[in-house]
Structure 1
Amino acid sequence: MTATPGTSPTAPVPSHIAILDDEPDITQLLAGYLGSHGFRTTQLHSGRALMALMTADTPDLVLLDLGLPGEDGFVIARQLREHWRCGLVIVTGRGDAVDKVVGLEVGADDYVTKPFDLRELVARVKAVLRRLAPEPGAAAPAPALVASPAPVDAVHDLSAGRECLHFEGWTVDVAARRVVGPDGVEVALTTGEFDLLLTFLQHPGRVLSRDFLLEQTRGRESAPFDRTIDVQVGRLRRKLGAEQGEGLWIKSVRGAGYLFVPRVTSTLSV
């Protein structure tokens, strides 16, 4: 984590921009350009580093890359929206329309695809900051920190303790591979069904293609007319009892794949 030098005490307080990207060349480029426009910047290369910064020195706005190795940018975006009040601009090479829609739906203020014009990016950053600025004479905003979340990648850090994922009253014990419903009754899933559910829980609010799901659960790509995932999704829906009543938790997105709708939380115990 690197930060630009502070300004003199008499200068206006500059807006603080956090830049999260796994490529140092990009964070350095953006930090230099934003710094030349009067912003204070912090360069970051992992979700864990961003969560530490959010607690220690909450930025006014985060520039977030979605393509972080071993991390899901949409999960990070969701964490930011649930726990902090700050601007969020997704800056990514993923220009697919579905990704844009999901990015905006999880709470991003803007979505910029690479390659981008630096001047346009700065203009978009300023526009978001203007929208977030309080009206003259308005009461001071509430503290930026809404709650103290676990690090975004703690759900994947099994060494920190026993991991359980929760949604709609359900509990999934990852290590024991147990799924328990709201009534406390364990539901038996096959290996493939459990792996499929776990993949959805690790990517909530994101449209997942059939190829991706098959790769994650079977370690292979789909063949033409392969309906394996569709069959497993149907079985999983029935076992979760979510085919009717409360609606589909695993939503079909025509031509794209599947979307896990419920909010997912995690706990770790010794």
Structure 2
Amino acid sequence: MSTSSNENTIFDFEVREDEIDLAKSVPKLKGASNWRMWETQMFMMLRFNNPVYVQLVRDEIKMPPTPIYADQSHRSVRNLLFREAGGNEEKETRITAEAIKAHSIQIVASNLELRKHHVDGEEKWERANTRAFLQFVSTLEPQISSSLYDITNVREAYLALKDLYWNPSHHATYLRFKKLVNLRYKREDPHTFVARFKNVLGDYTAFVGDMTALQELCHFKRAVVSNPRCHLFILNLTINEEDPDMMNQVYRDFVVAVRLHQMLSKS
């Protein structure tokens, strides 16, 4: 079979004996965090097993449409033969009952061949889709695969997960959240760090909306608590939830406490 997906049809589909186990070769999809890596690996391994699987996911191969069968009735065949005669009297004289019956038999045979070809295509499509779907699902974490309980079409499964985990704005939000929760204060000037923290926080809230002062405080404490320079700040931290300027005061206290620690450590 050709490896170029554009050259394949469902009638080319044959199961290869050397298919690999995607469950062992593709990192499990955990969600938005590894969607791109998973998607790349999943498509690569599916294509290795059979290009038709990828075509099914991408909707490049569809279930064969029901063929249009010719009418085999006596009247329909008679009318057909007269149309083909085109008014030629000599040809029309040959349109006898026997000729009509013979042509009807040919139409029946042709319809049977069309039906056989269609059934073959349907069976191959179902088989290819089932194999592609099972391999696709094997690359998902259990909680994700369970969300596809009512889906058996591999393309529908892929689109359902893509809509859930690979919305560009969703991914952008995730990246900003990841940057926020991984931010840590190290050695820079405390005032500079506060400005950097506010910038990262602003990038995130621009996507999800404003957070409460207590939520902002939790993120800030996470960013500084592991640094020994911040112990004095953490020990003396006091908050007033009624104060609309609470976080600005927290930031000022942080700068003062860290600079005091720096002065004491030098003395």
Q: Structure 2 length as normaliser, TM-score?
A: 0.18
Richer in helix (by share):
2
Q: TM-score, normalised by structure 1?
A: 0.18
| Higher RCO (C-alpha 8 Å, min separation 6) | 2
Q: Based on CA coordinates, which of the two structures has the bigger radius of gyration?
A: 2
